[in-house]
Amino acid sequence: MQAALTVYPVVGLPEIDRGADLAGMISDVAELADGDVVVVTQKIVSKAEGQMVEVDPNDPDAKRLLAESQAVRVLRRRGDLVVTETRHGYVCANSGIDLSNVEEGWAALLPEDPDRSARRIRDGIRARSGRTVGVIISDTFGRAWRRGVVDVAIGCAGVRGIVDLRGTRDGLGRELVATEMCIVDEIAAAAELVMGKASAVPAAVVRGIDPTVLGEGSVTREVVRPYGEDLFR
């Protein structure tokens, strides 16, 4: 069978500190090719961008209060969990704040503007390696109606967020009415399969993405559903 899509873990990255040149580091350890999509987890982007805040590990309310400080809207509460809408428009648990894979006493906030983070990494990879790639910043979100979490895109550059198949024809030649595939979420999910939360591989390369999917893209503009359009908020 001919492979259509291959997902490679990016191994060998050092521990990421504030100011780390992620684009350079990834270019150095991954053999990138034009048209690859590089998926970078939010955690190392937040670390490199210095989006870290101290939390008192002995204060049981600290994480919840921090999450609420990052939210424009609290949608649901259950015990320790708050489901919030962040100022970017993401709906997720605890405003995406994370205390795993960070130093004790610290929490990672989401990047300020993950689409911009993706553009910077994309530009940096081009500058360092000469390769033109798409970049997705991924994070692990829960869902309504379905148990378990999956990785989704919170930012992208050089890859379209949504691909509209409206007007293309189905296999029987009839026009498809509306199939707007959220390609960046599917790529983020595919990348997670080689990362593993415990093995701490914080980036992956997806090779073989349909070139028509590459181009201008933005998660906040394309994928985030505005409050007024949403049926479940």
Q: How far is the CB of 117 from its own copies (least distance, A)?
A: 19
Which whole-number Å values give the CA distances from 206 to 41, 154, 193, in the listed order?
Answer: 14, 17, 11
Q: Which residue type sits at 26?
A: I
List the end-to-end C-alpha distance of the chain, in Å, as a whole number. Answer: 45
Residues contacting its own copies: total by CB under 8 A? 73
8 near its own copies, rule: CB under 8 A: yes
Q: How far is the CB of 145 from its own copies (least distance, A)?
A: 4
**Interacting positions 138-157 with its own copies (CB under 8 A):** 140, 143-152
Give the span between the Cα atoms of 225 and 10, in whole angstroms. 31
Binding mask 78-117 for its own copies (x = CB under 8 A): x----x------xx--------xxxxx-------------
Which residue in 14, 4, 23, 17 sits closest to 46, CA to CA? 17
Q: How far is the CB of 36 from its own copies (least distance, A)?
A: 10
93/120 with CB nearer its own copies: 93
**Interacting positions 19-78 with its own copies (CB under 8 A):** 30-31, 76, 78
**Which structure tokens are listed for 45?**
């982007």
179 near its own copies, rule: CB under 8 A: yes
Give the span between the Cα atoms of 60 and 63, in whole angstroms. 7
